[in-house]
Structure 1
Amino acid sequence: MSHSHSSKLSAIVLLAASLAGIAIALYAYLIPLTGVTGSLGALVAIFACVALAIMAFLLAVPKSRVAAISLRVVILVGLIGTFFVGLLLHQWWISVAMVVGLTGLILDMTHTSRQTRPTDS
């Protein structure tokens, strides 16, 4: 699998997880009787998932090595923070979506490290 194809696949997984997180957080924020309707925490989860979706698009764009590593670190911090927000809000599906996003990020990082590793021939 080529680097660009794998990078796009991992970005798609991260984007899908972010969009699922947006949908779940919007549901929790807007629908009555979710326990967090209109709360600041649900609003933070919405904005965090939107930021993760934007960063998923940036992950698929070719960039320098330093920029790619920096972006991955910011995405990792965003995923961990949003996972924690989902737990605090008792919105377990947001946390599940962030675990799926983490899977996409790990796919991206492992494929990149495989590309840069020297061959043993």
Structure 2
Amino acid sequence: MPQLQRRRLGAGLLLVSALVGLLIALYAYLTPLTGVTGTLGALVALLACVVLAGASLALFKLNRGAGLVILRVLILLGLAGTFFAALLLHQWLLCVAMVIGLIGWIIDLASPAPSNAFRS
């Protein structure tokens, strides 16, 4: 599999897991009898999924450099924090979505960024 295609696969998987996590957190926040309806923790998990989705979209634009490294570290912290919040909220499907996002992050990290140099 070409490097660029593998990198897009990782960022795409991360984006899909963040969007699925957003839907799960929104369901938990709005639906009565979920145990976390209207709580601050569910709202924070929802907002964290929105930020993760935006950060995964930024992965498509960055090629290499310090910005990419910082973004990847922040995404890892966001995944870990959202996973921990989902554990505390007993939202197991949100935990699964964050683990799938971690797999996408690892795929993105394992594939090297394409170089900007022209080849003749």
- Provide TM-score, normalisation by structure 1: 0.89
Which residue of the partner structure matches residue 112 of structure 1? Answer: 112
Cα deviation per residue 1:15-65 (whole Å; 9 max; x = unaligned)? 010011000000000000000000000000000000000000001113332
Query: 1-side partners of 2:12 and 2:111: how far apart?
Result: 15
Q: Would you say 1:63 and 2:63 are equivalent positions?
A: yes
Which residue of the partner structure matches residue 35 of structure 1? Answer: 35
| Greater alpha carbon shift after TM alignment, 2-11 vs 95-104 | 2-11
Q: For the aligned residues, what is the CA RMSD?
A: 1.6
Q: Give unpaired runs (5+ residues) of structure 2.
A: 116-120
Which residue of the partner structure matches residue 118 of structure 2? Answer: none
- Provide TM-score, normalisation by structure 2: 0.90
**Alignment map for 1:1-121 (pairs within 5 Å):** 1-112=1-112
Which amino acid is 1:8 matched to?
R
Query: 2-side partners of 1:63 and 1:10: how far apart?
Result: 14
Between the aligned residues of both structures, percent identity stands at: 51
Which residue of the partner structure matches residue 119 of structure 1? Answer: none
Partner of 2:38, secondary structure, is: coil
Pairs aligned (count) = 115
Greater relative contact order (Cα < 8 A, sep 6+): 2
Cα deviation per residue 1:65-118 (whole Å; 9 max; x = unaligned)? 2111100000000000000000000001111100000000000111128x79xx
Query: 1-side partners of 2:53 and 2:72: how far apart?
Result: 13
8 Å CA contact 1:4, 1:60 repeated in 2: no
